Structure 1
Amino acid sequence: MTTIKGVLFDFSGTLLRIEPTETWLRAVLTASGTTMAEAEIVRLAGELERAGALPGGSSPAEIPAELADLWEIRDREAARHREVYTGLARQVPLPRPELYDALYERHMTPDAWHPYPDTAGVLAELHRRGIRIGVLSNIGWDLRPVLRAHGLDRYVDSCVLSYEHGIQKPDPKLFALACRELGLHPSHVLMVGDDRTADGGATALGCAYLPVDHLPVDRRPDGLRPVLELVG
């Protein structure tokens, strides 16, 4: 078996998980001074969930026709990403128009993201073993401040973000770039991620692939631990 010398991790649903939709909505309502009946908050949160308005959360139950093309390439450019997700949120009538942008802004804050219970421990152990660590994400904004706020950046050697390169996983060019950033041949790299199509595309380049389950943080206490068994 080829020795693994570097690990690429997906971000959302792999290393960290976005807060629940209801928590997301409540945070924005509170910050904006918008008061609303409890039942109404719960109802709107459910509608936003079905709309797929929270990046990193549930996929849309139905993508509006006017957003369908953008949805497919949403992670190639920051403006597209914002347009798609604020557009999905606008399928749900909210009491103030500025809330749509406020919701989008909220999801990019460190407080909106929670590391999985074993994230820090697994990254620290890989770092201790001298394994190169990269984050490779389909995303429309800079996740580095989130890693920094949660004390994870100290373990990460590189971040390759789709919107900064105009390429999305599973395009082999993005995996090739991420491997070059680690200074390793793809055959020595393990890709870890929750999307078997996007992240699993790494195998086309010769990387190994380990899938993890996209679950709430309290339901996946040790999903990253198998990485340590695969890496010498």
Structure 2
Amino acid sequence: MTIKAVLFDFSGTLFRIEPTESWLRAVLTEAGVALSEPKLTLAAEALERAGAQAGGALPAEAPAGELGDLWAVRDHSAERHRAAYTGLSRQVRLPDPALHDALYDRHMAPRAWSPYPDAAEVLAGLRERGVAVGVVSNIGWDLRPVFRVHDLDPYVGAYVLSYEHSLQKPDRRLFALACEALGVDARDTLMVGDDRRADGGAAALGCGVHFVDHLPVDRRPDGLRPVLDLIG
């Protein structure tokens, strides 16, 4: 297999969202809401169990009822994505109801995301080898500003975001759109992601697939480097 293009997932692959407690603390500070340290810690733990932070932990218990139905298609549109995550957040009592939307807004801020330590090195290495790069993400908002702020946008030739197409991985059509945008055949393309079900859907199109571990940034310093070895 001659790899002419590499598709990357976003969250847990190239970037990692800030820890739940930092996320909550930043929103409380910006809103001018005071919360004791013990209460802040408890609220952060509850939000994490609820799966309220997009890009963070999945819900400890699968959402049920209308919220469960919404959760299943959350990445199909910006409206569904916000409704699903604020719905999970609202399961946790916070000092001000407006904080739930503020938490959602915070998770879209470029400063809430950190690239993995080897992301720039690997993307630059692919460019040097003449390999095209695309980003294929299940998401409900425009992540391009995150790449621009962290100086990774110049390496990306195409962004295929689920909410812009009303499709979500593992639907093979999303990967096909990325290959088409890059002008490559799926059989010459490698998909790199952290979700075996969602990102593994690229295999149905004929892409190669490589998985990385969704770990905190400081615990995965070189998880992307094997991609360069696969390219040769």
Instruction: Provide the TM-score with structure 1 as the length reference.
Output: 0.98
Aligned ranges 1:125-164 → 2 under 5 Å: 125-164=125-164
2:60 corresponding residue in structure 1:
61
Percent identity of the aligned residues? 66
Q: Distance in 2 between matches of 1:201 and 1:96?
A: 40
Give the aligned residue type for 2:8: F
Return the alpha-carbon distance in structure 1 between the equivalents of residues 102 and 44 of structure 2: 15
Q: One-letter code of the match for 2:167?
A: I
Q: State the 1:129 CA deviation.
A: 1.3
Amino acid at match of 1:200: G
Letter in 2 for 1:202: A
Give the superposition deviation at 1:197. Answer: 0.4
CA distance in 2, matches of 1:25, 1:180: 39
**2:74 — aligned with what?**
74
Instruction: Trace 1:1-232 onto structure 2 (pairs within 5 A).
Output: 2-62=1-61, 63-232=63-232
CA distance in 1, matches of 2:64, 2:47: 14
Structure 2 stretches lacking a partner, 5+ long? none
Q: Provide, for residues 159-190 of structure 1, a one-character-per-residue CA deviation record: whole Å limited to 9, x for no partner.
A: 00000000001111111111101100000000
Q: Quote the offset at 1:126 in angstroms.
A: 0.6
Find the aligned partners of 2:32 and 2:139 in 1 and give their Cα distance: 29
Alpha-carbon distance between aligned partners in 2 of 1:114 and 1:24, rounded to the nearest angstrom: 13
Matches of 1:61 and 1:21, distance apart in 2? 14
Supply the RMSD in Å over aligned alpha carbons. Answer: 0.6
Superposition deviation, residue 130 in structure 1: 1.1
Tell me the alpha carbon deviations over residues 123-159 of structure 1, each in whole angstroms, 9 at most, x when there is no partner: 0111111110000000000000000000000100000
Query: Quick one: distance in 1 between partners of 2:65 and 2:57?
Result: 18
Q: CA deviation at 1:120?
A: 0.6
Cα distance in 2 for residues equivalent to 1:53 and 1:85? 5
What secondary structure is seen at the aligned counterpart in 1 of 2:24? Answer: helix
- Post-superposition, which runs of at least 4 consecutive aligned residues in structure 1 deviate over 4 A? none
Structure-2-length-normalised TM-score: 0.98
Letter in structure 2 aligned against 1:95: P
Residues 12-59 of structure 1: CA deviation (Å, up to 9, x unaligned): 000000000000000000000001111000000000000000000000
Distance 1:111 1:191 in 2: 26
Of 62-71 and 115-124, deviating more is: 62-71
> Shift in Å at residue 64 of structure 1?
3.8
Question: How many equivalent pairs are there?
Answer: 231
Q: What is the Cα deviation at residue 97 of structure 1?
A: 1.1
* 1:101-131 deviation per Cα after TM superposition (whole angstroms, max 9, x unaligned): 0000000001100100100110011111111
- In structure 2, C-alpha distance between the alignment counterparts of 1:128 and 1:31, rounded to whole Å: 42
Look up the equivalent residue of 1:208 and give its one-letter code: G
